[in-house]
Structure 1
Amino acid sequence: DVGNPYVANIPVDGDYDFDVFKRVFFSTNGLVKLFSLDYTALASSFQIENPEVFDTGYATFKIKNTGSKDLTISAVRINDESYEFDLGKGINTRILNASDNDLVWVDIKSSGQSFQTDDVVKITVEAESVALDNNPYIFTNSTNNFFVEEAREGDIKINRPNSKVVQVDAANSEIYLEVENTGDTTVILKDFYADNENNTFVNKHYISGSPILNPGQKAYVKITDSLIPFDPLGTEHKIGVITPNNIKDELLFTSNYEDFKISIVEKVELFHLKL
């Protein structure tokens, strides 16, 4: 330590800031010291896997909770600059449950910042867990340095056979969509809309999957705040989904009542017998 004696590192009154040992009681002369043990620091950890930063203004990576405590992901920084981000399964809470994993999408473009191919970057993630005293334990993990890549082609598709519009009553309908990532790169489903991109739905529930999809992954989404009337039956509307990079797909839909069936009755010939 630059040649300083060890006593130079002793804090005032010997009040060290430990991660595991928490001060409970110090006697007046400091001869008696009592500590409690808080294993939060030992039980809180995560890994960053498959980090990628692209020259079109976004980054993706997988985050894995390798500890036994739930974590809240509080910040994502690239080269020490903070950016807006979304989790897939934890999109509304940013919580990563113990032993679980999730996908992370980082929005670089909206900040006005950009990276060029072969720029050197490093991703740092900040997480919080709850310590023994109910205070947050905040810690970080970082990737090694790596190069920015040229963005790969993305594509998404609404799978018609597994999508439908259900007419609940004359005024209300529910939309069910299966969306598949058919491209070569991770995508995030930003908005679902009716007829045009400005007419977006608000109430979306992911029955399976999440808004962030790796290539080949699917999400099944239920939309309950239908902005447009599908009544009477046979009325058509265009339903679409779009990503922040303007990758989109649209299909025309009509509605039907749940479990609606058409029965065909065979023609019956009637014979009148004359007596």
Structure 2
Amino acid sequence: MSTVSAALTDSATMLRRQVRHMLRYPSLILMFAGIPVIFLLLFVYVFGAMLGAGLGGPVGGRADYANYVAPGILLMTVASAAQGTTISVVTDMTTGIVARFRTMAIARVSVLTGHVLGSLVQAMASVAIVLVAALLVGFEPTAGFGDWIAAAGLLVMISFALTWLCVALGMVSDNPATASNLPLPLMILPMMGSGFVPTDSMPAGLRWFAEYQPFTPFIDTVRGLLMGTPIGNSAMYAAGWCVLIALAGYLWAKKLYNREPKA
């Protein structure tokens, strides 16, 4: 068996391991989707009427705001699922299972790849739950079939990139408590971008940060695909951020994994 074939086979085995964990603990998916759903309900039903009136949409009020905020909530869901990967990785690192894997004749890359692919499955399941919740509270996308496929593909790309970053964060953590805190900025960044309010409503300094951080082009592109709003250069920037974050996370995680374990 070639090196590539062995790596693919071992990665598939590690993916099955992660999927079995998800099936054994389905509450994890509900937890990752739960926080975004709470934010969705809070902002739509508590703040939606007032914030929606400021958007100047055709309907005004809560209906317009549900359409505006739903893409940001979807990105928050992706970040929430990626955060779970950090905890999963540090658990494997600290319980000795990774040390066991190091002694086995398996491709080294497969251990991390299994975590990443498993997280993608978990993230998309969580996104599906949140999307159903968004539709129930008034989200009315105008996307055609092709736009839905493009939006789903972009969410997978973003999840892939963030997951590799969170794998690295899990490997630099000493325990699950630390691992659960390190990725928290990923949950906050959608709020400090265009996820909840337009960036032009922010003070100058915060507006500059919001417009140049990665989640704003992520959200603007997903919103444009689902709601038909202008995308501009957001898709190009979103793809660029995905490549940069994924590459940096992968190289960092690979370096950490290949280092010699402490005696």
Q: Report the TM-score range of the alignment, normalised by the length of the smaller protein.
A: under 0.3
Q: 1 or 2, which has the higher strand percentage?
A: 1
Instruction: Please give the TM-score of this superposition, normalised by the length of structure 2.
Output: 0.23
Which structure has the greater CA radius of gyration? 1
Higher-RCO chain (CA-CA 8 Å, sequence separation at least 6): 2
Q: 1 or 2, which has the higher helix percentage?
A: 2
